[in-house]
Amino acid sequence: MLRTISTADHDPRIPIFLSARLGVCFHPPYTTMALEKDGEIIAAFLFNIYTGPDIHVTIAGSGWTRRFLRDMGQYLFEHLQVERFTAITEKQNVVDIVYRVGGRQEGLIRNHFGPGRDGILLGVLKDEYRYRNGQHAKSTQRVSDSAGSV
Protein backbone atom coordinates (compact mmCIF):
# COMPACT_ATOMS: atom_id res chain seq x y z
CA MET A 1 0.00 0.00 0.00
CA LEU A 2 1.24 3.49 -0.87
CA ARG A 3 1.35 6.20 1.78
CA THR A 4 2.57 9.79 1.65
CA ILE A 5 4.84 10.79 4.51
CA SER A 6 4.13 14.48 4.98
CA THR A 7 6.50 17.27 5.93
CA ALA A 8 4.87 17.35 9.38
CA ASP A 9 6.08 13.78 10.08
CA HIS A 10 9.79 14.79 10.11
CA ASP A 11 10.71 11.20 9.20
CA PRO A 12 14.51 10.80 9.60
CA ARG A 13 14.56 8.03 6.98
CA ILE A 14 13.87 10.51 4.17
CA PRO A 15 17.18 12.44 4.10
CA ILE A 16 18.99 9.11 4.60
CA PHE A 17 17.17 7.68 1.55
CA LEU A 18 18.03 10.75 -0.54
CA SER A 19 21.66 10.81 0.63
CA ALA A 20 22.11 7.14 -0.25
CA ARG A 21 20.56 7.63 -3.69
CA LEU A 22 22.45 10.80 -4.53
CA GLY A 23 25.74 10.36 -2.69
CA VAL A 24 25.49 13.70 -0.89
CA CYS A 25 24.76 14.88 2.64
CA PHE A 26 22.01 17.32 3.48
CA HIS A 27 22.30 19.86 6.27
CA PRO A 28 19.32 21.53 7.94
CA PRO A 29 17.27 23.54 7.60
CA TYR A 30 15.13 21.54 5.22
CA THR A 31 11.78 19.80 5.08
CA THR A 32 11.03 16.48 3.43
CA MET A 33 8.18 14.47 1.96
CA ALA A 34 8.21 10.85 0.80
CA LEU A 35 6.20 8.09 -0.78
CA GLU A 36 6.25 4.85 1.19
CA LYS A 37 5.29 1.39 -0.06
CA ASP A 38 5.01 -1.52 2.38
CA GLY A 39 7.08 0.33 4.98
CA GLU A 40 9.90 1.28 2.59
CA ILE A 41 10.52 4.73 1.12
CA ILE A 42 10.42 4.53 -2.68
CA ALA A 43 10.44 8.25 -3.62
CA ALA A 44 11.23 11.47 -1.81
CA PHE A 45 11.50 15.24 -1.99
CA LEU A 46 13.77 17.47 0.06
CA PHE A 47 12.98 21.19 0.16
CA ASN A 48 15.69 23.71 1.04
CA ILE A 49 17.10 27.12 0.14
CA TYR A 50 13.72 28.72 0.76
CA THR A 51 13.76 32.43 -0.12
CA GLY A 52 10.04 33.19 -0.05
CA PRO A 53 9.24 33.30 -3.74
CA ASP A 54 11.53 30.33 -4.58
CA ILE A 55 12.59 27.02 -3.08
CA HIS A 56 15.04 24.36 -4.24
CA VAL A 57 13.74 20.82 -4.49
CA THR A 58 15.81 17.62 -4.51
CA ILE A 59 14.19 14.37 -5.60
CA ALA A 60 15.01 10.69 -5.93
CA GLY A 61 13.07 7.48 -6.26
CA SER A 62 10.50 5.68 -8.33
CA GLY A 63 6.77 5.06 -8.43
CA TRP A 64 5.71 8.71 -8.68
CA THR A 65 1.94 9.05 -8.43
CA ARG A 66 -0.39 11.90 -9.29
CA ARG A 67 -1.42 12.12 -5.65
CA PHE A 68 2.19 12.44 -4.48
CA LEU A 69 2.85 15.17 -7.05
CA ARG A 70 -0.37 16.96 -5.98
CA ASP A 71 0.73 16.75 -2.34
CA MET A 72 4.05 18.33 -3.28
CA GLY A 73 2.33 21.12 -5.20
CA GLN A 74 -0.07 21.78 -2.34
CA TYR A 75 2.81 22.06 0.12
CA LEU A 76 4.86 24.37 -2.09
CA PHE A 77 2.26 26.58 -3.69
CA GLU A 78 -0.51 26.67 -1.08
CA HIS A 79 1.25 26.15 2.27
CA LEU A 80 4.60 27.87 1.60
CA GLN A 81 3.08 30.12 -1.09
CA VAL A 82 6.17 30.07 -3.30
CA GLU A 83 5.91 31.42 -6.82
CA ARG A 84 8.29 28.81 -8.24
CA PHE A 85 10.61 25.95 -7.44
CA THR A 86 14.08 25.40 -8.78
CA ALA A 87 15.76 22.13 -9.70
CA ILE A 88 19.33 21.41 -10.71
CA THR A 89 20.18 17.98 -12.10
CA GLU A 90 22.40 16.11 -14.50
CA LYS A 91 19.95 13.23 -14.95
CA GLN A 92 17.53 13.07 -17.86
CA ASN A 93 14.88 11.24 -15.82
CA VAL A 94 14.74 14.16 -13.37
CA VAL A 95 14.39 16.56 -16.30
CA ASP A 96 11.51 14.37 -17.50
CA ILE A 97 9.71 14.68 -14.14
CA VAL A 98 10.12 18.45 -14.10
CA TYR A 99 8.77 18.68 -17.65
CA ARG A 100 5.93 16.35 -16.65
CA VAL A 101 4.80 18.72 -13.90
CA GLY A 102 4.98 21.75 -16.21
CA GLY A 103 8.52 23.05 -15.81
CA ARG A 104 11.13 24.01 -18.31
CA GLN A 105 14.88 24.26 -18.68
CA GLU A 106 16.22 27.68 -17.73
CA GLY A 107 19.94 27.21 -18.20
CA LEU A 108 23.09 25.19 -17.75
CA ILE A 109 25.48 25.46 -14.80
CA ARG A 110 28.92 24.39 -15.98
CA ASN A 111 30.83 21.92 -13.77
CA HIS A 112 28.09 22.11 -11.11
CA PHE A 113 28.55 18.44 -10.16
CA GLY A 114 32.34 18.44 -10.72
CA PRO A 115 34.66 18.67 -13.72
CA GLY A 116 32.78 17.91 -16.92
CA ARG A 117 29.48 17.36 -15.07
CA ASP A 118 27.16 20.23 -15.90
CA GLY A 119 23.95 20.93 -14.03
CA ILE A 120 20.73 21.49 -15.92
CA LEU A 121 18.85 24.38 -14.28
CA LEU A 122 15.08 23.83 -14.30
CA GLY A 123 12.20 25.91 -12.99
CA VAL A 124 8.49 25.47 -12.42
CA LEU A 125 6.23 28.46 -11.89
CA LYS A 126 3.10 28.17 -9.74
CA ASP A 127 0.83 28.84 -12.74
CA GLU A 128 2.62 26.16 -14.80
CA TYR A 129 2.38 23.36 -12.23
CA ARG A 130 0.08 20.68 -13.64
CA TYR A 131 -0.85 18.92 -10.39
CA ARG A 132 -2.81 21.60 -8.56
CA ASN A 133 -6.26 21.70 -7.01
CA GLY A 134 -6.81 17.96 -7.44
CA GLN A 135 -6.39 18.20 -11.20
CA HIS A 136 -3.81 17.16 -13.71
CA ALA A 137 -3.69 18.93 -17.03
CA LYS A 138 -1.73 16.50 -19.18
CA SER A 139 0.29 13.28 -18.90
CA THR A 140 -0.84 10.57 -16.47
CA GLN A 141 2.12 8.25 -17.01
CA ARG A 142 4.47 7.30 -14.20
CA VAL A 143 8.12 8.16 -14.26
CA SER A 144 9.85 4.94 -13.31
CA ASP A 145 13.07 5.98 -11.59
CA SER A 146 14.65 9.31 -10.81
CA ALA A 147 17.47 10.66 -8.79
CA GLY A 148 18.91 14.14 -8.71
CA SER A 149 18.69 17.56 -7.32
CA VAL A 150 15.40 19.00 -8.27
Cis peptide, bond prior to residue 53, ω within 30 of zero: no
Average pLDDT over residues 76-94: 93
Residue 140 lies in a domain: no
Residue 150 lies in a domain: no
Residue 14 lies in a domain: yes
Is 17 or 113 the better-scoring residue by pLDDT? 17
User: What's residue 80's pLDDT?
Assistant: 96
Average pLDDT over residues 49-78: 92
pTM confidence score: 0.83
Residue 24 lies in a domain: yes
Residue 137 lies in a domain: no
Q: How far is CA 84 from CA 18, 37, 38, 131, in A?
A: 22, 29, 32, 14
Read off the pLDDT of residues 113-135 as tens digits, 9 standing for 90 and up. Answer: 889 989 999 999 999 999 986 55
Cβ contact 67:52 at 8 Å: no
Please count the structural domains in the chain.
1
Residue 17 lies in a domain: yes
CATH code, 48: 3.40.630.30
Per-residue pLDDT for 136 more than 60? no
Integer Cα distance of 3 and 36 in angstroms: 5
Q: What percent of the chain lies above the pLDDT cut of 90? A: 67
Structural domain of residue 72, as residue ranges?
2-128
Interstrand relation of 104-109 and 119-125 (parallel, antiparallel or unpaired): antiparallel
